[in-house]
Structure 1
Amino acid sequence: MSKIKAHLDNIVLSHTVFALPFSYIGAILAAGGIPTGGEFFWITLAMVGARSAAMALNNCIDLKYDKLQPRFANRPMVTGAVKPWEAILLTLASLGLFVWAAANLHPLCLQLAPLAILPLVIYPYMKRFSWTCHLVLGLALSIAPIGSWVAIRGDITMPIILLGLAVGVWIAGFDAIYGCQDVAFDKKHGLHSMPVRFGIPRTLAICKAMHVISIMGFYLVGQLMNMHGIYYAGVVLAALVLIYQHSIVTPTDFRLVTQAYFMRNGLVSIALLVFTVISILA
């Protein structure tokens, strides 16, 4: 059981709350109602498989840096609770789960599976080359709602592109905020990030703009899908959460950028999911 817990901690399974609700939103919007239990089942497996593979691979590739970062001293791979070969096996098994799930959804899902996997593989290496690493992470997460839409409808249209964009810049913005804590470490080890490239004050300003774009994207999705007015209450609630999150961070104080800080972001996706369901059923 301790080994299982170590692997769950390594992939931070609780952070699935960030992307999985958006995945369900994509499915619900595509179906124009509640998808079947089978569709929900395979979409969930695909999401868990893709995300688990991405996290295990990322932690394996970044291990040499994580061992040097005091903030990561308790990570399972740093302590040795999870061995690199175990993380690689989990990555392969999770990718297999993702492909298996994709094969049980719309045929287009399996055809596009390599494109979905690509940013998951590229992202761990991006900090070595470019400050756009945060955007690549956003791209990886944007696939969650788009993939679910494809799983139901087998096409890609403007509403789901906008939803994917909104999710992508939302995630990228918070990843850049998180990266502000590591500017000194990144500079010392030749790593790249938005804070390293633009400085912390400008990065925080850029992140605010990105989150404005994100909220606008959620709003436009509602307009294009002719959503009931209750949907926009979820958009407003999401905006309020984002405003609060930005209000407690300054260029010189990141003490509140904790696990709780990031778990609050899950409120954005959960709120939008709840209000989307209510809107569809209204």
Structure 2
Amino acid sequence: MLVRYANLVRLPHTVFALPFALLGVVAASFRYPVAIRQLVLVVIAFTAARFVAMGFNRIADKDLDARNPRTRTRELPAGRLSPAQAWIAVIVAAIAFEAAAWALNPLCFALSPLALAVITLYSYSKRFTWWSHLWLGLGDAIAGPAGYLAVAGRWSDPWWLLPVLAVAVTLWVGGFDVFYALQDETFDRAEGLQSAVVRFGRAGSILLAKLMHGLTVVALLVFGWAAGFGWPYVAGVVAGAAILAWEHRMVKPGDLSRLNAAFFTANGIVSIVVFLGALG
């Protein structure tokens, strides 16, 4: 049963954004002491929030997933988990998230309902706007500022430090979600769903992803400068940029055969190398 729940939310994909949550922690550590307790609570809060987001998305999309050849083998449409079982897990995860936010500090707890709203309402965004890619990115981007606030208990100085980090992660996630949606172009058009590939076609979507990822690199560099990171961080961002460039070379409008390698491999590595650079 635990394996089914892990598959429901693709638990290994936690690697995508967790390093950016920890990047916020590292940035805060330049001004505030970091306790092991805080670090553990950040990991719990992030993992629980991601479970809520993914679990709720699977529930909201279960009928669509059942009609999509690519997704019909997922836990809910395949019947390996019932909607009731999924709902129970999502509710438990939401409670765990709120408990972790409460244990961190009053500011995190006060903002936690807003975070839950952003990550759950995303599931319906692609029904009415192609901007859903950026909505998904924003849901992941909450992690970075949240990691900072978990340690500091107050907003950053300068005030724009955390928004810049959020912009970087929003564009990073949004860009690779644009890539991921390429394989569902036919299905999305048939179902009346909104996505970049439906709006702009394959070539236009790939160009959009290039723009997003280019701006991601710029935003990460600005964030690192404002946070006080040194040259190892810059090296990490440059390495991440090289990986993104490799990712874009693998995905062509007429050839999506290497899309999964680009999505699962490249993006998992990008966040890790940037975080390791920050530790340096």
Same fold (TM over 0.5): yes
**Who is 1:55 aligned against?**
54
Q: Deviations over 1:149-190 (max 9, x none)?
A: 111112142222111110111000100111111111111011
**Who is 2:250 aligned against?**
248
**Who is 1:17 aligned against?**
15
**Who is 2:114 aligned against?**
115
**Who is 1:155 aligned against?**
155
Task: Select the residue among 196, 204, 207 that pairs with 2:206.
Answer: 204
- Structure-2 separation of matches of 1:139 and 1:185: 25
**Who is 1:90 aligned against?**
89
Give the Å deviation of 1:73: 3.0
The answer on 1:135 being equivalent to 2:134 is: yes
**Who is 1:231 aligned against?**
233
Give the Å deviation of 1:260: 6.5
- Structure-2 separation of matches of 1:128 and 1:190: 7
**Who is 2:182 aligned against?**
180
Q: Secondary structure at the match of 1:81?
A: coil
**Who is 1:8 aligned against?**
6
Given that 1:76 and 1:82 are in contact with CA atoms closer than 8 Å, whether structure 2 keeps it comes out as yes
Structure 2 runs not aligned, ≥5 long: none
- Structure-2 separation of matches of 1:73 and 1:67: 4
Which region of structure 1 is more displaced relative to structure 2, 101-110 or 253-262?
A: 253-262
Given that 1:15 and 1:263 are in contact with CA atoms closer than 8 Å, whether structure 2 keeps it comes out as no
RMSD of equivalent CA atoms: 1.3
Q: Deviations over 1:4-42 (max 9, x none)?
A: 101100110000001111000101101218722101110
Q: Deviations over 1:87-118 (max 9, x none)?
A: 11111111001000000112100001111111
Q: Secondary structure at the match of 1:124?
A: helix
Q: Secondary structure at the match of 1:199?
A: helix
Q: Deviations over 1:109-164 (max 9, x none)?
A: 00011111111111110111111111110110110001111111121422221111
Q: Deviations over 1:165-221 (max 9, x none)?
A: 101110001001111111111110111111101111111101101100000011111
Given that 2:140 and 2:169 are in contact with CA atoms closer than 8 Å, whether structure 1 keeps it comes out as yes
- Structure-2 separation of matches of 1:50 and 1:100: 11
Give the Å deviation of 1:259: 5.8
Structure 1 runs not aligned, ≥5 long: none
Superposed, 1:22-61 pairs within 5 Å as 22-32=20-30, 35-61=34-60
The size of the alignment, in residue pairs, is 276
Q: Secondary structure at the match of 2:67?
A: coil
**Who is 2:73 aligned against?**
74
- Structure-1 separation of matches of 2:279 and 2:30: 10
Q: Secondary structure at the match of 1:24?
A: helix
TM-score by length of 1: 0.95
- Structure-1 separation of matches of 2:261 and 2:83: 24
Given that 2:179 and 2:263 are in contact with CA atoms closer than 8 Å, whether structure 1 keeps it comes out as no
Q: Secondary structure at the match of 1:210?
A: helix
- Structure-2 separation of matches of 1:121 and 1:23: 19
Given that 1:61 and 1:124 are in contact with CA atoms closer than 8 Å, whether structure 2 keeps it comes out as yes
Q: Deviations over 1:30-85 (max 9, x none)?
A: 12187221011100110011000110110011010101111113211121111111
Q: Deviations over 1:223-276 (max 9, x none)?
A: 112221111110110000000000000111111111663232111111011110
- Structure-2 separation of matches of 1:255 and 1:35: 44
Which region of structure 1 is more displaced relative to structure 2, 254-263 or 128-137?
A: 254-263
- Structure-2 separation of matches of 1:263 and 1:12: 14
Q: Secondary structure at the match of 2:104?
A: coil
- Structure-2 separation of matches of 1:233 and 1:148: 22
Structure 2: which amino acid aligns with 1:29? Answer: A
- Structure-1 separation of matches of 2:106 and 2:52: 22
Given that 1:135 and 1:172 are in contact with CA atoms closer than 8 Å, whether structure 2 keeps it comes out as yes
Which region of structure 1 is more displaced relative to structure 2, 252-261 or 182-191?
A: 252-261
Structure 1: which amino acid aligns with 2:22? Answer: Y
Q: Secondary structure at the match of 1:250?
A: coil
1:210–1:230 distance in 2 versus 1, CA, 3 Å: same
